[in-house]
Amino acid sequence: MMPTLDLDHHEPFAATLGIMLYPGTDNEDRENARAFASHWIQGCLKNFHEAGHRLPAERMARLLEDGGVFLTDGKARLKSGQAVGDIFKALFLLAKDHPSLASWEHAISIYETGAARAKKPGSRSALWREIKRFKSVAHLWGAWSIRDYRDFAGSAELGYDGYDDFQCFLAQAELLRDFGQSWRHRRAKSGPPLPAEVWRIPVDWNSQNRRPSWPNPDDVLTISFPDNLVADLKPSGRPRKAG
């Protein structure tokens, strides 16, 4: 059974990002994910109170309980998660537009091209370790990568807020999850890119009615790579036999 995101949390993005950073289902990762969400919210409390709001006592108590864990690897995990997100986005775009070229190896190659230009460190073996560690949330990181890791700010002009934008992000992540668990390379004997058990939205989750002017989750289907990024890639799998 696939684990589900806690979208009933009083700050669902913080809870989701905590899981994206600590995706394991063991007690340690679950505790760390809750602690991250608590620390995130605590960092916003000053502005929240200055705006005249007050957090109910039971929620404040929950923050204090969950925030007792001292996290030292959050920044490192954020960088690793973003790398996996960029790679999974590359894999998705390859499968969409160049299916014969789609593979984790080619997606890593495309990531490495951009990483070299940005002078980001990281060996291929290290990237494979991070893919293994974050594979159960790769679709969430991929959806955020497509958004260039921007905050969910919304648009007053178009009539939607940050929560509406977050709902769109979740819908896009589900599109990527469906791809990751169903797509198969035509020559590959292995299974789909993502395992059977990944983090997903609850089955009874429904985003509010989207207005025509709001961002469309299906926009992820309209983006593509520049031709130069795939020009040197060779089709995956063994070459076909002549005759």
Domain end, chosen from 55, 72, 89, is at: 72
Mean pLDDT of the chain: 81
User: What pLDDT, in 10s, does the model give residues 77-91?
Assistant: 999 999 999 999 999
* pLDDT at residue 55 in the model: 41
Residue 64 pLDDT level (bands cut at 50, 70, 90): very low
Answer yes or no: is 209 within a domain: yes
Q: Are residues 165 and 128 in the same domain?
A: yes
Cβ neighbors of 134 (< 8 A, separation 6 or more) are: 20, 23, 80, 81, 84, 141
Answer yes or no: is 238 within a domain: no
Q: Are residues 40 and 105 in the same domain?
A: no
Q: What value does the mean pLDDT take over residues 126-135?
A: 96
Distance CA 152, CA 165 (A): 6
Q: Which candidate, 144, 143, 221, 208, places its Cα nearest to that of 177?
A: 143
* pLDDT at residue 53 in the model: 41
Answer yes or no: is 242 within a domain: no
Please give the tally of structural domains in the chain. 2
Which of the listed ranges 61-75, 137-151, 187-201, 211-225 does the model predict with the highest average pLDDT? 137-151
Distance CA 165, CA 153 (A): 7
Name the burial class of residue 68, with classes exposed (0-12), middle (13-18) and buried (19+) by CB atoms within 10 angstroms of its CB.
exposed
Domain end, chosen from 20, 40, 72, is at: 72
Evaluate whether 101 touches 236 at the Cβ level (below 8 Å): yes
Answer yes or no: is 124 within a domain: yes
Which residue shows structure tokens 């934008």?
A: 165
Cβ neighbors of 190 (< 8 A, separation 6 or more) are: none
Answer yes or no: is 243 within a domain: no
Domain end, chosen from 44, 72, 100, is at: 72
List the domain range (segments joined by +) for residue 127: 74-230
**pLDDT value at 57 more than 60:** no
* pLDDT at residue 207 in the model: 61
